C-alpha cells in the first residue's frame, strides 16, 4: 500500500537492528485518514473471502480492525484482552499463551466464548507481524472455537523476522500492507511492492 509505505519512510524510523518505530501514525498517535484507507485496503484484499467478524488484540490492533470492519459494511470487531495471568473464569473464555519478544515475558490472551460462535469466518487484523506470536495466539483461539480463519491482515510485516513465513507455511493467507526488510543506520528499508499494490 503506497500511502502506508510513504508514511513509514517519511515518519517512521528504526532503532538498532529490529525495532520499528511508527508511534506517530500507527500505535500511539493515530493518523485516522491513513487508517481509514488501511481498512479499505484490507477490504480489497479479503473481499472475496467469507468474513463474519474482525478479530484483533488490544491495544494497537484495534484501530485498523475498526476501519476494516467499517470497510466491510460494519462487521463486528472482537478484541482479545491481554493478561499476565491465566484466567480464573476459564469455562467462559477461550485462552491462548503468547510470548512477547519485546517484553521478554509470557502473556495470556482471551476472548469471551459467546462472542466467537462455532463456524464463524474470522478475519484477523493486527498492526505488526514480527515473530507471529500474537497472530498464532489469535488463530489458536479461533481453532478452539471451531471457527475458521478467513485470513490474516497486518499493516506492517517485519520481513526479517520469522512470523510471516511460519504463518504462510501453516497455510494461512497473510496479507501485509508494507514490509520492512531491514534497518540501516536508523533508516527503515522497505520492500518495493506488497500484497496490496
Q: How far is CA 168 from each of CA 50, 121, 152, 184, rounded to the nearest angstrom?
A: 19, 18, 10, 27
CA atoms of 62 and 30, how far apart (whole Å): 11
The reply on whether position 63 binds its own copies by CB under 8 A is yes
Give the phi and the psi of residue 72 in degrees, each rounded to 5: -85, 10
Which of 11, 40, 70, 121 is close enough to bind its own copies by CB under 8 A? Answer: 70
Q: Among residues 6, 58, 106, 170, which is the contact residue for its own copies, using CB under 8 A?
A: 58
66 part of the interface to its own copies, by CB under 8 A: yes
Among 81, 148, 166, 173, binds its own copies (CB under 8 A): 81
144 binds its own copies (CB under 8 A): no
**Interface with its own copies includes 75 (CB under 8 A)?**
yes
Query: Any contact of residue 13 with its own copies (CB under 8 A)?
Result: no
Task: Determine, following the binding rule CB under 8 A, whether residue 31 of this chain makes contact with its own copies.
Answer: yes
Please tell me the distance from the alpha carbon of residue 152 to that of residue 90, in angstroms, as a whole number: 26
Binding residue (CB under 8 A) for its own copies from 3, 24, 148, 191: 24
Report residue 178 as a C-alpha cell.
Answer: 508494507
Is residue 186 at the binding interface for its own copies, with CB under 8 A as the rule? no
Which of 67/131 has CB closer to its own copies? 67
Evaluate the CA torsion angle 153, 55, 136, 34 in order and state its sign: positive
Is 121 buried (19+), middle (13-18) or exposed (0-12) by CB count in 10 A? middle
C-alpha cell at 78: 472482537
Interface residue with its own copies among 111, 145, 178, 183 (CB under 8 A) is: 111
Nearer to its own copies, 53 or 183 (CB): 53
Grid cell at residue 75? 462487521
Cis peptide preceding 59, ω within 30 of 0: yes
- Binding-site ranges for its own copies (CB under 8 A): 23-24, 28-33, 35-36, 58-59, 62-63, 66-67, 69-70, 74-79, 81, 111-112, 114-115
Amino acid at each position: 500500500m503506497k500511502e502506508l509505505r510513504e508514511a513509514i519512510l517519511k515518519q517512521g524510523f528504526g532503532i538498532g537492528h529490529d525495532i520499528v518505530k511508527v508511534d506517530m501514525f500507527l500505535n500511539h498517535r493515530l493518523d485516522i485518514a491513513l487508517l481509514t484507507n488501511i481498512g479499505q485496503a484490507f477490504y480489497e484484499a479479503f473481499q472475496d473471502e467469507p468474513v463474519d467478524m474482525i478479530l484483533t488484540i488490544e491495544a494497537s490492533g484495534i484501530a485498523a480492525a475498526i476501519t476494516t470492519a467499517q470497510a466491510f459494511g460494519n462487521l463486528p470487531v472482537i478484541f482479545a484482552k491481554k493478561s499476565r495471568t491465566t484466567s480464573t473464569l476459564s469455562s467462559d473464555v477461550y485462552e491462548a499463551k503468547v510470548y512477547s519478544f519485546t517484553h521478554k515475558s509470557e502473556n495470556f490472551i482471551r476472548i469471551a466464548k459467546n462472542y466467537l460462535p462455532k463456524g464463524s469466518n474470522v478475519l484477523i487484523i493486527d498492526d505488526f507481524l514480527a515473530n507471529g506470536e500474537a497472530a498464532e495466539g489469535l488463530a489458536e483461539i479461533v481453532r478452539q472455537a471451531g471457527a475458521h480463519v478467513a485470513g490474516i491482515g497486518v499493516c506492517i510485516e517485519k520481513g526479517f523476522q520469522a512470523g510471516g513465513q511460519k504463518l504462510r507455511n501453516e497455510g494461512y493467507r497473510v496479507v501485509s500492507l508494507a514490509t520492512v526488510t531491514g534497518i540501516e543506520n536508523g533508516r527503515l528499508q522497505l520492500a518495493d511492492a506488497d500484497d496490496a499494490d
